[in-house]
Amino acid sequence: MENLKQLCKYLLTLFVIGVFWHIGALCFGEYILPKPLNVLFFSFDYLRTKEFWGHFFISSYRVCTALAISFLAAFPLGIYMGYKKRFDSFFSPFLFLTYPVPKIVLLPLFFLILGIGDFSRIFLIVLTVSYQIIVVTRASVLNLDKKYFESFQSLLPLHVKGTPKQHFRMAKLVHLLIPSALPSALTALRIASGTAIAVLFMAESFATREGLGFLIMDSWGRGDMLPMFIGILSLCFLGVFLYEFCNLMERLFCKGNQPNAK
Amino acid sequence: MTRTVSSTADQYQTGIHVRSLCKTFGEQPVLNELSFSVCAGKSLSVIGKSGCGKSTLLSILAQLQEYQSGVVEFVTPQGKSFIEEYGRMPRLSYVLQEYGLFPWKNARENLMLPLQIAKMDKERIQEHVALMLQELDLSGLEKRYPCELSGGQKQRLALGRALISKPEIILLDEPLSSVDAINRENLQNLILSLWKKYQFTFVLVTHSVGEAVYLGGNILSLSKFSSEDVSQYTLYDNPYFAEENIRDKKEYFELCKIIHHSLQE
């Protein structure tokens, strides 16, 4: 029921955007802004071509791989930094000094060093996204209320002699650090997914003949507005999909401590 | 049918002896020359103003904090050292202020956590959890998260989490401070009935004189340490502890009054 409501909201919003789009198309003329219905009708044909799906899949592959790598690398690193003071004092100056640098400006450098394949494009997204996840995860471990550490400490079976410390450390990670930091890390991922799409577009508009970014730039160059809009809409769809996917993950894995649950 | 979790083969009773305990935070002395004992299977309530070291005392008993000098010993009812007799520390549970439950775990997961950390096998954990849910009247709530439980339910859950590992000693740090008055009395009764059933030794820190007298076989009234004081604390024996309807008796009020006065000084 809740999901159905959400879907209706989405459809209604789409409709309203469509209306504004149509008005815009009437004002600017077909050559600058094609009418939404024309794009829709064109999409029936275009979505059946191999060409489109080739672009779509390569873009999805790039952005999803990048987000997965970012999360898997940044989440543990953020936790470790938040928990280990010595490591943090060594590593955080590097983090915060390089944090404000917009990674996208390094694009030419990456192409030079890493080549013009998928790797440099994915790496660029990873670099952009993981910073945000590291910073947020680290902060969430640092800000975790001391009472939870005490509470956890009080549950350790001190009467058992010779239990390896390793075991308690593992338990602390599994029961305390990971679940407490997960909600904010997933929120960071959700917000970063929008940035990831933007970086993807930039990274795909140079030196490649594949991907939605290329599709948009190429059609634009040829003045072929309809495929360009299909490209734009596909990127939007990818963005919404990733956003909702992160939302779903949050709902599945952070039941008791979502930011809005009180 | 009621089965109990208690009386396993390796559960024993233990008392606590504390002699000349001193604890300072930097230059600031918190506890000075504190001595008392709690007999095996009895209880002690600790009362005093904020900052007098009540919670510090508790975390020292829980081995969570170091102390500068003095002796903290666990003794069997026969007066022997618990550690020498049984070759291990007594099992201790600690109920913290504001419950100390983990918001990311539901009631069942919170309850089973101590057993999970102690690496008990899964089937036995389920068995213990089911019994404890029943014992604390939490059946049906096991899938709820702490944010979906009432204050009283959270408190029962916190008690259950302390009890589930079959402790020989339970330390309670103002366990009922965030519960309303009516629930508070029910929970005090619950603590007492659990104590009668499971026979653990417990130390309770509280702000409330009534609670101290209701739940303490002995009552330790602590005051803030200052260099002029000869003694930082007074110990009271509570002969009416655990009697039926103690709250209605004249002696209960008398004792409350005495302790109340001791705190005013």
Structure confidence by residue, pLDDT tens digits, B141-163? 989 999 888 888 998 999 999 98
In a domain, B112, yes or no: yes
Record: contact B100-A257, CB cut-off 8 A: no
Q: Which helix (H) or strand (E) holds B74?
A: strand B69-75
* Bridge partner list, B48: B222
Determine the pLDDT at residue A199: 94
In a domain, B232, yes or no: yes
Closest partner CB to A148 (pick from B91, B102, B106): B102
Record: contact B90-A148, CB cut-off 8 A: no
Closest partner CB to B118 (pick from A153, A157, A161): A157
- Domain check: are B82 and B195 in the same one? yes
**Nearest residue to A60 via CA among A188, A187, A210:** A210
A170 touching B (Cβ < 8 Å): no
In a domain, B194, yes or no: yes
In a domain, B4, yes or no: no
Q: Chain B residue with minimal CA distance to A145? A: B100
- pLDDT tens digit string along A56-77? 999 999 999 999 999 999 999 9
Confidence of residue B256 (pLDDT cuts 50, 70, 90): confident
Q: What residues in B contact A153, CB-CB < 8 Å? A: 64
Tokens 């014992």 -> residue: B135
- Domain check: are B50 and B150 in the same one? no
Mean pLDDT of B89-93: 86
SS3 A206: coil
Determine the pLDDT at residue A158: 67
Last residue of a domain, one of B133, B165, B197: B165
What span, in angstroms and rounded, lies between the C-alpha atoms of A32 and A231?
15
What span, in angstroms and rounded, lies between the C-alpha atoms of A234 and A47?
10
Record: contact A155-B161, CB cut-off 8 A: yes
* Cα-Cα-Cα-Cα dihedral sign, residues A96, A100, A103, A109: negative
Record: contact B97-A147, CB cut-off 8 A: yes
Domain range for A177: 57-253
Tokens at B190, concatenated: 């619950």
Mean pLDDT of A34-46: 90
A150 touching B (Cβ < 8 Å): yes
In a domain, B233, yes or no: yes
Q: What residues in B contact A168, CB-CB < 8 Å? A: 117
Determine the pLDDT at residue B1: 34
Q: What residues in A contact B117, CB-CB < 8 Å? A: 155-157, 168, 171, 175
**What average pLDDT does the structure give for chain A?**
89
Q: What residues in A contact B114, CB-CB < 8 Å? A: 155, 157
Record: contact B89-A159, CB cut-off 8 A: yes
What span, in angstroms and rounded, lies between the C-alpha atoms of B109 and A21?
51
What span, in angstroms and rounded, lies between the C-alpha atoms of A207 and A219?
15
Query: Domain of A163: which CATH number?
Result: 1.10.3720.10
CA–chain centroid gap for A163, Å, is 41
Domain range for B215: 15-91+171-264
What span, in angstroms and rounded, lies between the C-alpha atoms of B217 and B40?
11
A98-123: string of b/e by CB count within 10 Å (b at 16+)?
Answer: eeeeebbebbeebbeeeeeebebbbb
ipTM: 0.81
* Bridge partner list, B18: B36, B72
Structurally, how many domains does chain B consist of? Answer: 2
**What average pLDDT does the structure give for chain B?**
84
Record: contact A179-B105, CB cut-off 8 A: yes
Record: contact B102-A179, CB cut-off 8 A: yes
Rounded to the nearest angstrom, the minimum Cα separation between B63 and chain A is 8
In a domain, B244, yes or no: yes
A160 touching B (Cβ < 8 Å): yes
Burial class (CB in 10 A: 0-12, 13-18, 19+), A44: exposed
- Domain check: are B153 and B60 in the same one? no
- pLDDT tens digit string along B173-189? 888 877 788 888 888 88
Alpha-helical (H) ranges within B72-218 are 82-86, 107-117, 122-135, 151-163, 181-198, 209-215
Q: What residues in B contact A175, CB-CB < 8 Å? A: 102, 105, 113, 116-117
Record: contact A175-B102, CB cut-off 8 A: yes
Check pLDDT > 60 for residue B229: no
Last residue of a domain, one of B165, B189, B205: B165
- pLDDT tens digit string along B109-146? 999 999 988 888 899 999 999 999 998 888 889 899 99
Percentage with pLDDT > 90 across chain A: 63
Q: Chain B residue with minimal CA distance to A257? A: B104
- Domain check: are B36 and B114 in the same one? no
In a domain, A219, yes or no: yes
- pLDDT tens digit string along B13-35? 888 989 888 888 887 788 888 88
Residue B53 zone, left/alpha/beta (φ > 0; ψ -120 to 50; rest):
left
What is the DSSP secondary-structure string of B78-100? TSSBHHHHHSSPPPEEEEPTT--
Determine the pLDDT at residue A57: 95
Check pLDDT > 80 for residue B225: no
Record: contact A155-B113, CB cut-off 8 A: yes
- pLDDT tens digit string along A218-255? 999 998 889 999 999 999 999 999 999 999 998 888 88
- Domain check: are B143 and B21 in the same one? no
Alpha-helical (H) ranges within A115-155 are 118-142, 146-155
Q: Count CB atoms within 10 A of the CB of residue B201.
A: 25
- Domain check: are B119 and B153 in the same one? yes
In a domain, B3, yes or no: no
Last residue of a domain, one of B146, B165, B184: B165
Which residues of B fall below an 8 Å CB-CB distance to A?
A: 62-64, 87-94, 96-98, 100-106, 113-114, 116-119, 145-147, 161, 165
What span, in angstroms and rounded, lies between the C-alpha atoms of A128 and B31?
53
Check pLDDT > 70 for residue B235: yes
Mean pLDDT of B178-201: 87
In a domain, A3, yes or no: no
In a domain, B8, yes or no: no
Structurally, how many domains does chain A consist of? Answer: 1
- Domain check: are B204 and B256 in the same one? yes
Integer CA distances (angstroms), A136 to A85, A133, A192, B18, B239, in order: 16, 5, 11, 45, 56
Record: contact B93-A154, CB cut-off 8 A: yes
Confidence of residue A155 (pLDDT cuts 50, 70, 90): confident
Determine the pLDDT at residue A229: 92
Determine the pLDDT at residue B111: 92
Query: Domain of B181: which CATH number?
Result: 3.40.50.300
Rounded to the nearest angstrom, the minimum Cα separation between B98 and chain A is 9
- Domain check: are B185 and B81 in the same one? yes
- Domain check: are B159 and B206 in the same one? no
Phi then psi dihedrals of residue B30, to 5 deg: -110, -50
- Domain check: are B189 and B85 in the same one? yes
- Interface with chain A: mutation pick from B14, B104, B125, B166, highest number of A CBs within 10 Å: B104
- Domain check: are B242 and B227 in the same one? yes
Tokens at B237, concatenated: 């024996």
A12 touching B (Cβ < 8 Å): no
**Nearest residue to B43 via CA among B169, B223, B222, B197:** B169
Integer CA distances (angstroms), B11 to A152, A161, A213, B86, B166, in order: 23, 16, 69, 10, 7
- Domain check: are B62 and B157 in the same one? no
Least reliable range by pLDDT among A61-75, A121-135, A171-185, B179-193: B179-193
